[in-house]
Amino acid sequence: MAYKYETIADTLREEIKSGKYTPGELMPDQNKLAATFDTTRITIHKAIQLLIIEGMVYSKRGAGTFVRKDFGLTERRQETLVDKPLGTTQTNAGKKVTSKVLELEARLPTKREAEQLLIDEMDPVYVMRRTRYVDGKVWAYEHTIMPTGIITLTKKVLEGSVYGYLEQHSGKKIAGSHRIISAGRVTADDVAAMGAKLNDPVLIINQISYMDDGQPFEVSESHFPYATSSVVADVQLH
């Protein structure tokens, strides 16, 4: 049985495909959609996030949700490592993946983190920092925020695959992620975590990942050494 947010996402998806909402158009705000579908704003938020993950719409803070201008050209795009939340272990299947845990603590979320994770500002979150290695070489430096209510994490879990542990023990599946990929410069934290050279280029991926019930389970920022990192995406125009 589909979750209500999935049913709403299906309806909005068909309305976009049928031309009710055209490329570049501002969609009704979440309160209006909640009234239209006789549901809560949180359920509408989950439905919109699903469409964001699929690349149909995007949200601009303070402005609303818009249909992507390139929708139609990229509708049949293939999933790639850019938009699939595979995690380091699955991405490097068959290779030796290890982790050095730099931090694991709990605190209250910031207002922004609570909004992104759809939790109350009094719900504690884990703060995790770790360096990931593949076959003994630095792969990435990760900084992750995750609600403590989702699962209990330990240093031992962080030394392995958090995604794998989460799916095995939460009873849910990881459904997708919304990613922003950018370039930046190595910071002091990167120097300490990866042995990188200060101010060298670094590939940055910011993402919010979701379980199959639409609940966000992490907000993360990962830094990848420029010399060994690349982004690969396949786009079908027809």
Residue 79 lies in a domain: no
In a domain, 238, yes or no: no
CA distance 88 to 162: 10
User: Would you tell me the crossing angle of helices 4-18 and 41-54 to the nearest 10 degrees?
Assistant: 50
pTM of the model: 0.71
Any domain includes 24: yes
Give the model confidence (pLDDT) of 196-216 as tens digits. Answer: 999 999 999 999 888 877 788
Domain boundary among 18, 37, 67: 67
Same domain, residue pair 104 and 60: no
Q: Are 212 and 156 in a shared domain?
A: yes
- Report if residue 77 sits inside a domain: no
pLDDT confidence band for 55 (50 / 70 / 90): confident
Identify the DSSP state of 39.
S
Considering the domain architecture, whether residues 31 and 106 belong to the same structural domain is answered as no
Domain boundary, last residue among 12, 36, 67? 67
Report the C-alpha gap between 60 and 66 in whole angstroms. 8
Give the model confidence (pLDDT) of 83-127 as tens digits. 455 577 777 778 899 999 999 999 999 999 998 888 899 999 999
Residue 58 included in any domain: yes
Query: Does the pLDDT of residue 152 top 60, yes or no?
Result: yes
In this prediction, residues 146-159 reach a mean pLDDT of 95
Q: What residues contact 115, with CB distance under 8 A and at least 6 apart?
A: none
Q: Which CATH number characterizes residue 102's domain?
A: 3.40.1410.10
Please say if the pLDDT value at position 27 is more than 70: yes
Does the pLDDT at position 82 exceed 50? no
- My answer on whether 143 and 196 are in the same domain is yes
Is the same domain home to 113 and 215?
A: yes
State whether 55 and 170 are in the same domain. Answer: no
What is the arithmetic mean of pLDDT over 158-167? 92
Q: In terms of pLDDT, which residue wins out, 78 or 60?
A: 60
pLDDT of res. 1: 64
63 and 11 fall within a common domain: yes
Among 37, 67, 97, where does a domain finish?
Answer: 67
What confidence score (pLDDT) does residue 87 get? 73
Write out the residue range of the structural domain in which residue 142 sits.
87-228
Is 72 part of any domain?
no
Residue 33 has pLDDT above 90, yes or no: yes
Contacts of residue 30, defined as CB under 8 A and 6 or more positions apart, other chains included, come to: 41, 44, 45, 48, 65
pLDDT, average across residues 3-27? 91
Share of residues in the chain with pLDDT > 70 (%): 89
Q: Are residues 133 and 215 in the same domain?
A: yes
Q: Is residue 16 part of a domain?
A: yes
| CA nearest to 201, candidates 190, 214, 213 | 190
For the record, the structure tokens of 180 come out as 């922003």
Domain count, the chain: 2
- For position 12, which CATH number holds? 1.10.10.10
| 160 and 212 part of one domain | yes
